[in-house]
Amino acid sequence: MARRSKMRGDIRLRRTLRNIHKTMDNELAPAMRQAAERVLATQQQLMP
């Protein structure tokens, strides 16, 4: 019985971690794009 509840806990934990990663990816992509555009703009200003 203990083994089954541990398996259920692992599945629940895995699902929680997957949701966290999905949320992080959704929030991270726009921030990374914004940072990349800022770096590119700076490079274009510095290099004639």
Which is more confident, 2 or 17?
17
Total count of domains within the chain: 1
Res 2: pLDDT: 57
- Domain holding 10, by residue range, is 1-48
pLDDT at 42 over 90: yes
pLDDT at 7 over 60: yes
Q: What is the pTM of this model?
A: 0.47
Which is more confident, 3 or 25?
25
For the stretch 9-37, pLDDT in tens is 788 889 999 998 888 888 888 889 999 99
Question: Cα–Cα distance between 40 and 44 in angstroms, integer?
Answer: 6
